[in-house]
A and B are shown apart, each in its own frame.
Chain A
Amino acid sequence: MAENVERTTKTHTADRGSRTGNFFKAVSAVVWKDLQAEFRSRELFSAMLVFSLLIILIFNFALELDIKTRQSVTAGVLWATFAFAGTLGLNRSMAIEKDRGCLDGLLLAPVDRSAIYFGKVISNLAFMLIVEIIVLPVYSILYNVNLFQAGLLLVILLGSIGYVGVGTLLSAMSVQTRTRDILLPILLFPVVIPVLLAAVKASSGYLTGAEFSEILLPLNLLIAYDIIFIAVAFMVFDNVVEE
């Protein structure tokens, strides 16, 4: 309580410039900590990557990916892979915070809680994008499709932002429950369906060479979803980490 008061008086007296400066400093501190820890252990990244490759392998047997079907299902296979690998990463990244007591330490620090949220979003996004950047060429080689198109990369970026934006909020909740190992996908998948839907539509649009006017609609939806849900998560994140 006293700390809260101190914090508010501090922020009131501080001028606007240094306040935003502090915020960015806190965000980058969280990101930096995550990236450094990951750089040392590489456990999260390697698990996500191997898991993604295994999913692609399973899809190969499950769907009989011959040349004809490949065209139509590539977008779906990619996004299903990213979604499954994503939950693995999100869960682990938050569980580490919880187990090592980092979250409590961060909460005691005199920074805005939303800085923790944005920090975690950025580091989770970084992990996801790195995995995606490795999965794409592997998929391209294995199935002989060119996935390196600027439009497709944009879709993957926008889709990952929406996925991680909601996923970070929900994983912060799920790691604090008794059923934390299994809960995240159950919470996350039904609410990210719009992201997956729009991302698959836009990706397959780019892959089949559809007209831009057709791709514009899912792209707009992705942008709208990203903005709405990151704004909501930003507003409610306080309630999720409050102790």
Chain B
Amino acid sequence: MQDKPITLKVLDIVSLILLGISTYLALVFAPTELVMGDVQRVFYFHIGTAWTALMGFILAAVFSVVYLIKKDLKWDRYQVAAIEVSLVFFFITIVLGSIWARPAWNTWWTWDPRLTTAAVTELIYIAYFMLRQGIDDPDRRARFGAVYALVGGLSAPITFFAIRLFRTIHPVVIGGANAEAEGGFAMTADMRVAFFFALFAFTVIFVDLYWNRIRLGNLQEKVEQLKLKVTL
């Protein structure tokens, strides 16, 4: 394995700096939200991680199709990397959302469309890794992984729409006409700066982690092949 490319090293450092700036903007620069207080500040990281994780999951579904057509293990490694990083980010999203919901909605969890879909999505991709763990042959592991990521990636948005459709027919306890009661709020200009910067920062951090994870996958592949060669 060659040493880290210089671009990646730079990206590592840039990601750390961006994370620092984004934290500063979220915790200090943005004004305190009047109704909810300081807890609203988790919103910036919440959205940042959610956006990148969803992009990662969509990317993984695309890699599924590409792998099933091209049958090149490279695409499988891209997919695993995308799903793993997204899974970590989405975990942060869910936990932050739950922490925010406690003072805002007075409950850690409600079964509303987004929360439920988030939990189901997280479970789908955990199942994805459990499936892969049970298979030794790399080609079969890649094929099954691609099939499951495709099925899961199609099912998650349908789950979301299904829950939303049925919950709009039967009104939910939370979220009447009043947006404030729902925990919604109007963003000031400073909040918007922190918001968009968090989106940008997490996109860069995601790319950086993703790149590192792909390199790890490549290394793993190399070790596995050498292992085969030595044992033969």
Q: Do any beta carbons of A and B sit within 8 angstroms of each other in the complex?
A: yes
The stretch that binds A, out of B37-45, B119-127, B207-215, is: B119-127
Using known A-B contacts A170-B148, A214-B169, A239-B146, determine if residue A194 contacts B130 with beta carbons closer than 8 Å.
no
Q: Are B154 and A229 in contact (CB under 8 A)?
A: yes
Counting CB contacts under 8 A, is B140 at the interface? yes
CB-based contact B162/A197 at 8 Å = yes
The yes or no answer to A218 lying at the interface (CB within 8 A) is yes
Main secondary structure of the interface of B (DSSP, over half): helix
Contact with A along B138-163 (1 / 0, CB 8 A): 00100110111011101100110011
Q: Mark A186-210, 1 if CB is under 8 A from B, else 0.
A: 1100111110011001000000000
Return the chain B residue nearest A235 by Cβ.
Answer: B68
List residues of chain A with CB within 8 A of the CB of B123. 190
Q: What range describes how many residues of B lie at the interface? A: 20 to 34
- Whether the Cβ atoms of A190 and B135 lie closer than 8 Å is no
- A179 B133 Cβ-Cβ under 8 A: yes
CA distance A225 to B123 in the complex (A): 20
* Inter-chain contacts of A102 with B (CB < 8 A): none
Q: A183-B134, A217-B169 are in contact. Are A239 and B68 (CB under 8 A)?
A: yes
The answer to whether B28 has its CB under 8 Å from any CB of chain A is no
Residues of A within 8 A of B152 (CB): 190-191
Q: A180 at interface (Cβ–Cβ under 8 A)?
A: yes
**Interface majority SS (helix, strand, loop, mixed), chain A:** helix
- Within 213-235 of A, Cβ neighbours of B (below 8 Å) are at 214, 217-218, 221, 224-225, 228-229, 232-233
Is residue B131 contacting chain A, with contact meaning CB distance below 8 A?
Answer: yes
Category for how many chain A residues contact B: 35 or more
Q: Is the CB of A232 within 8 A of B127?
A: no
Residues of A near B135 (CB, < 8 A) are 176-178
Interface assignment of B166: CB less than 8 Å from any CB of chain A = yes
Which B residues lie within 8 Å of A179 (CB)? 130, 133-134
Q: Is the CB of A198 within 8 A of B162?
A: yes
Q: Are A242 and B131 in contact (CB under 8 A)?
A: no
A71 CB to closest chain B CB (Å) equals: 16
Residue of A nearest to B121 (CB): A190
Contact of A218 among B124, B155, B166 (CB under 8 A): B166
Contact B134 A166 (CB under 8 A): no
Q: Can you give 12 A-B contacts (C-beta < 8 A)?
A: A186-B127, A191-B151, A194-B159, A194-B162, A197-B159, A221-B158, A228-B154, A229-B154, A232-B150, A236-B68, A239-B143, A240-B143
